[in-house]
């Protein structure tokens, strides 16, 4: 019995770390699958820092394809089905919002959708919590739903312009504040 225990301990000390090291996948390994040789470092940094791809060598289509590929490599196909690069168009619901004069929510939304290394649940949570766009979250979710069904989305049809208006402000002629 002691001999078996000694063999097991030797096995655990030497072989387990070697096996674990081979199973460890690095950001560079993932980047090699989805990015060109010139952009591997840029892609790996985006994974490590959980930012969007900002490689000067990329055009718009390269960014879309590489972002989609990296997200699928990290999280798998099922998780990217909830919110992915193709859902960037849904961030438009946050535009023209009088409650958000600095357009913080559409920028946050597009940055979040394109962020590498953030799972879908975290992305949706982050977008929903944009303070100036809370009234438009239901509209954003409707856009995502229609996107999953490959159906067209129209703000006018599925959302209310009222949600883009400042409460208590009269929208006739010059801006008037109600007290």
**pLDDT tens per residue, range 88-122:** 999 999 999 999 999 999 999 999 999 998 888 99
User: How many domains does the chain fold into?
Assistant: 2
In a shared domain, residues 121 and 50: no
Tell me: do 69 and 119 sit in the same domain.
Answer: no
The structure tokens listed for 120 are 């879908």
In a domain? residue 80? no
Are 173 and 91 contained in the same domain? yes
In the numeric block, which tokens belong to residue 125?
Answer: 């949570």
- Does any domain span residue 10? no
DSSP string, 102-168: T-HHHHHHHHHHTBTT--HHHHHHHHHT-GGGGGGHHHHHHHHHHHHTT----HHHHS-GGGGSPTT
What global pTM score does this model have? 0.76
Question: Are both 99 and 177 inside the same structural domain?
Answer: yes
Task: Please check whether residue 35 lies inside any domain of the structure.
Answer: yes
- Rounded to an integer, the average pLDDT of 2-29 is 58
The mean pLDDT value of the chain amounts to 85
Under DSSP, the state recorded for 58 is -
- Whether residues 94 and 55 share a domain: the answer is no
What was the pLDDT predicted at 75? 87
CA-CA-CA-CA torsion sign (32, 38, 43, 49): positive
Instruction: With cut-offs at 50, 70 and 90, classify the pLDDT of residue 151.
Output: very high
Q: Do 108 and 174 fall into the same domain?
A: yes
Q: What is the CATH number of the domain that holds 173?
A: 1.10.150.370
Query: Which domain covers residue 149, as residue numbers?
Result: 87-179
**Sorting pLDDT into bands at 50, 70 and 90, what band is 18?**
very low
């Amino acid at each position: 019995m002691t001999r078996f225990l000694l063999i097991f301990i030797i096995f655990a000390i030497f072989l387990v770390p070697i096996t674990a090291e081979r199973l460890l996948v690095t950001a560079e390994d993932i980047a090699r699958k989805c990015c060109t040789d010139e952009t591997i470092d840029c892609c790996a940094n985006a994974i490590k820092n959980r930012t969007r791809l900002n490689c000067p060598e990329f055009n718009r289509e390269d960014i879309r394809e590489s972002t989609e590929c990296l997200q699928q490599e990290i999280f798998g196909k099922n998780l990217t089905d909830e919110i992915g690069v193709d859902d960037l168009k849904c961030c438009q619901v946050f535009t023209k919002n009088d409650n958000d004069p600095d357009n913080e929510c559409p920028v946050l939304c597009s940055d979040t959708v394109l962020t590498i290394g953030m799972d879908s649940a975290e992305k949706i949570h982050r977008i929903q919590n944009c303070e100036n766009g809370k009234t438009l979250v239901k509209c954003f979710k409707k856009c995502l739903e229609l996107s999953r069904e490959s159906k067209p989305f129209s703000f006018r049809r599925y959302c209310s312009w009222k949600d883009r208006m400042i409460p208590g402000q009269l929208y006739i002629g010059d801006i008037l504040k109600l007290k």
